[in-house]
Amino acid sequence: MAKKRSRFLQGRRIDPQPITGEVTVADLVDNAFMAYNAARLREACMLFTEKMLGADVTVGLSITGALTPAGLGISSLIPLIQAGFVDWIISTGANLYHDTHFGIGLSLHQGHAGVSDVILREEEVVRIYDIFFDYSVLLDTDSFFRRIIEGKEFQKSMSSAEFHYLCGKYVRERERKLGIENKSLLAVAYEYGVPIYTSSPGDSSIGMNVAAKALQGNKLAFDPSLDVNETAAIVLAGKRGAIHGRGDKGRKHGGKSAVFILGGGSPKNFILQTEPQIQEVLGIDERGHDYFLQITDARPDTGGLSGATPAEAVSWGKVDPDRLPDAVVCYIDSTVALPVITAYALARHEPREPKRLYDRRGEFMELLMSEYSKSKRR
């Protein structure tokens, strides 16, 4: 009698084709990423491309780690926005500050991490691991931000999304004058109406320069409550179908929310806390994000948020418990994973129409207020 085949042997047989010089990135992922973290990266590529980019899904991206100075804004993040694959963003201020270097024509260079930092300091060279740039890059970028925030439109309290939108307008204008384009994430987000929030606006050189101008009487101030409520409103609008139903003669239908988390830290918490804000604090009926994709090198057993799993997030209401099969954590450096995921998505999925969520923040806040007005938590 033949032995019954175990249900655990139903997975794809490991028998890849030999790699050739003609293989594409997408084919390499599908054919050769068979096990271990390579298999998780393949799962990440497939989750992002086959489910998170669905027509009814709103995709939020969180960014930590020094990704823009490594060129990943230009190589990966900007193409994702241009393809309509990213709808809203939470970023560290540092990534946006270093992104601005490229948009105003300043240069960063490949270096070597083994060089003496004492010597680099003497030669006024700043180092981010193996990225080198002249100290004047910091001073020139500081000057750029101080100059633009003197403008009349900045003399008020605002959300970080409005601040970054205005900054993106000026960076884009500088790009035009320099004869360059698509070098700055801020500028492209401005053009495509992608709102960018910063969970800790004072924790970067941008915030430091805002603080310096405040000493001179500048009226610019960030409103963190607006950030908390606007991001929650975006997620609620996505889940209620208010984002995706508008193009179908105003018909509203249910939608989905996806989070794409690069690294961890404060931006990870800020993008995930949108659901507890909706459910726990505002008392609005919701179940959590539908798709969860994280690229991280942080361990879960140390108790830090950066390594917390999507299963743990279920207990907070951050992730829909019924959607845990649609959650992938890939333990790999974002500088490796992000270009691969970007290349895979662009090869396997057609562009989506940009949602221009920045332009609709008021509409989404009205929806949030409407549902909150019916809540017993008021």
The arithmetic mean of pLDDT across residues 169-193, rounded, is: 97
- pTM equals 0.93
For residue 124, tell me if it sits in a domain.
no
Q: What is the pLDDT of residues 46-101, one digit of tens each?
A: 999 999 999 999 999 999 999 999 999 999 999 999 999 999 999 999 999 999 99
**Residues marked as catalytic:** 318
For residue 247, tell me if it sits in a domain.
yes
| pLDDT band, residue 113 (cuts 50/70/90) | very high
- Does residue 377 contact residue 283 with C-beta atoms inside 8 Å? yes
Encode burial over 334-372: b for 16+ CB neighbours within 10 A, e otherwise: bbebbbbbbbbbbebbeebebbebbebbeebbebbeebb
Q: What is the pLDDT of residues 362-371, one digit of tens each?
A: 999 999 999 9
For residue 116, tell me if it sits in a domain.
no
304 vs 245, more confident: 304
The total number of structural domains that make up the chain: 1
- State the CATH number of the domain containing residue 45: 3.40.910.10
> What pLDDT is attached to residue 312?
73
For residue 8, tell me if it sits in a domain.
no
Q: What is the pLDDT of residues 13-59, one digit of tens each?
A: 999 999 999 999 999 999 999 999 999 999 999 999 999 999 999 99
Residue 46: both structure tokens together: 């497939």
For residue 5, tell me if it sits in a domain.
no
Alpha helices in 241-290 (DSSP H): 265-272, 274-276
Q: Is 275 helix (H, G, I), strand (E, B) or coil?
A: helix
Q: Which of 127-131, 240-244, 312-316 shows the highest mean pLDDT?
A: 127-131
Residue 176: burial class (beta carbons within 10 Å; 0-12, 13-18, 19+): exposed
Largest CA distance in the chain: 88
Say yes or no to pLDDT of 1 above 80: no
Say yes or no to pLDDT of 303 above 90: no
Determine the Cα angle at 364 with ends 160 and 238, to 5°: 100
Helix, strand, coil shares, percent, the chain, to 5: 50, 10, 35
Query: Rounded to whole angstroms, how far apart are CA atoms 378 and 369?
Result: 11
- Strand 291-296 and strand 109-110: pairing? unpaired
For residue 332, tell me if it sits in a domain.
yes
> What pLDDT is attached to residue 55?
94
The contacts of residue 24 (CB under 8 Å, 6+ apart) are 347
For residue 1, tell me if it sits in a domain.
no
Q: Which domain holds residue 65?
A: 22-106+156-372
For residue 125, tell me if it sits in a domain.
no
